[in-house]
Structure 1
Amino acid sequence: MEKGHQIFGIRAIIEAIQAGKEIDKVFIQKDAQGELMKDLMKVMKRASVNFSYVPVEKLNKLTPNNHQGAVATIAPVSFHNLETLVETVMDSGKTPLFLILDQISDARNFGAIIRTAECTGVNGIIIQKQGAAPVNGDTVKTSAGAVFNVPICKVEHIKDAIFHLQGSGIKTIAATEKTDQNIYDLSLNEPIAIIMGSEDRGVNPSVLKIVDEKAKLPMFGTIASLNVSVACGAFLYETVRQRS
């Protein structure tokens, strides 16, 4: 059954996926079994639907209804096609600025990043279907509604998106501490895509191997790490400063 931005019940979720509904994420009860659950797993994998295993308490919190061990969240926004978006932005005459989020999993961090992206004129945000934060109520709230103004693309693999951007003449820059290069020493006046990594691991090492540039923010404190949304804001506003 469907209610608001949720679908609960295994059969209802299967039917929604097969009907092409924009499912953001499916939460599956950890110990759930049965033939119908196996069917759901097959359908999700075939459609590359983002899912995770959670305790039954999490599902009970999501919905008071009989969920049968599965609750799906429906994205409140429509996702864009990457190739079409890149082509549109390149033809617009403006200097492209894209943001790639490499498996950022916290919905509030995601929302805060979207809000800053909207304020700094980001042309599009690229996320991976698997492992990314859900586009849910928390995201909408934290983004202050900016989620409806910034195009978001969901891709199968971040690396393929990077190759496509590079092939379109867009320089890719990874935010990472694994470099001696400071963000303030880079020219950001050309078409660029900034890659921000996950909260705990940073940008994936396999992604770092294929980017055009790596850059870090100077650190003077003892903690030596920033919240990802704050770091993202610093990178985006340095881009704005250089382009103003």
Structure 2
Amino acid sequence: MTDTTTIFGIRAVIEAIQNNKTIDKIFIQKGLSGHLFQELQRHLHGGEYNISYVPIEKLNRLAKGNHQGVVAKISPVAFADLEEVVLKAQEQETAPLFLLLDQIDDVRNFGAIIRTAECCGVNGIVVQKKGGAPITADTVKTSAGAIFNVPIIKVDHIKDAIYYMQASGIKVVAATEKTEDLIYSKDLSEPVALVMGNEGKGISPSVLKIVDEKAKLPLQGSIGSLNVSVACGAFLYEAVRQRL
């Protein structure tokens, strides 16, 4: 699959903004200046855009062409509304099951998680507007098309989604090694949202402070952690097992 979600050039990015395209991430060369760049800055002002200022070498890898110091990733999917997805899930007979991803970095991990989530009947996946992996062609490919079947929700901060879940009667359980409780001791048959953390840093401390419960997987080998998509699958299928 060719990555058709990458656009480059200042004018192309401005046109994407003007046409209300779902822009996942914008990469801007450090120290960029000029009249056209100032016009781009005016269009970006006040918007909730995920922007990274990077060296030109990064942009050269992202785009094979005259990128003019700006490259953007256009999401191939439209994002869903948190309140609408939660309300819809609560109207169904089965207990709601949500997945909250705290700044997952790798696009293939993201795709693999979406694929497993779809197989497990997850009602929606919540990600943060800034700091997480963009949705690229690799994400779509790794998800085996599941990304088009599961609502993806973007929020300003993952804590916003946690507070909303809790206010809606949905228990929030964090997957973390910073606990003695195993996932098998948790009741996942009730409405629940599982939180998975960043591949390297795990779940941020501010998020861990506000979740309802924490749980971990038993590790029998010498390696101290699992790939996040594998761990996510183990957590989700424990929820499935309890609900069968």
**Secondary structure at the residue paired with 1:46?**
coil
Partner of 2:107: 107
The 5-angstrom pairing of residues 145-164 of structure 1 reads: 145-164=145-164
Report whether the alignment pairs 1:67 with 2:67: yes
**Matched-pair identity in %:** 63
Residue in structure 1 matched with residue 84 of structure 2 by the alignment: 84
The alignment of Structure 1 onto Structure 2 pairs a total of residues equal to 242
Instruction: For 1:154-233, list aligned pairs within 5 A.
Output: 154-233=154-233
Q: How far did residue 14 of structure 1 move? A: 2.5
Is 2:165 aligned against 1:132? no
Structure 1 length-normalised TM:
0.93
Q: Tell me how far 1:54 sits from its aligned partner.
A: 3.0
For residues 234 and 45 of structure 1, what CA distance do their matches in structure 2 show?
42
User: In terms of mean alpha carbon deviation, does 33-42 or 58-67 score higher?
Assistant: 33-42
Alpha-carbon distance, 1:15 to partner: 3.2
Tell me if the contact between 1:173 and 1:212 (Cα under 8 Å) persists in the aligned partners: yes
- Structure 1: runs of 5 or more not aligned: none
AA of the residue aligned to 1:105: D
Structure 1 residues 28-86: Cα deviation after superposition (integer angstroms, max 9, x where no partner): 22342335435534543521111223332332233222110011111111110011111
Q: CA deviation at 1:143?
A: 0.9
8 Å Cα contact 1:17/1:47 also seen in 2: no
| CA–CA distance in structure 2, aligned partners of residues 38 and 212 of structure 1 | 45
CA RMSD of aligned residues (A): 1.6
Return the alpha-carbon distance in structure 2 between the equivalents of residues 35 and 156 of structure 1: 30
Q: Can you give the 5+ residue segments of structure 2 that lack an aligned partner in the other structure?
A: none
CA distance in 1, matches of 2:119, 2:208: 27
**Distance change >3 Å, CA 42–CA 237, structure 1 → 2:** farther
Question: Are positions 1:53 and 2:60 aligned together?
Answer: no
Please, what TM-score do these two structures have when normalized by structure 2? 0.93
How far the C-alpha of 1:134 sits from its partner, in A, is: 0.5
Q: Which position in structure 2 is the counterpart of 1:30?
A: 30
Q: Which segment is superposed worse, 4-13 or 36-45?
A: 36-45
Q: Deviations over 1:166-214 (max 9, x none)?
A: 1111000000111111100011000000000001111111011111111
CA contact (8 A) 2:4 2:137 kept: no
SS across alignment from 1:195? strand
SS in 2 for 1:110: helix
Counterpart Cα distance in 2 of 1:179 and 1:30: 41
Partners of 2:139 and 2:9 lie apart in 1 by: 24
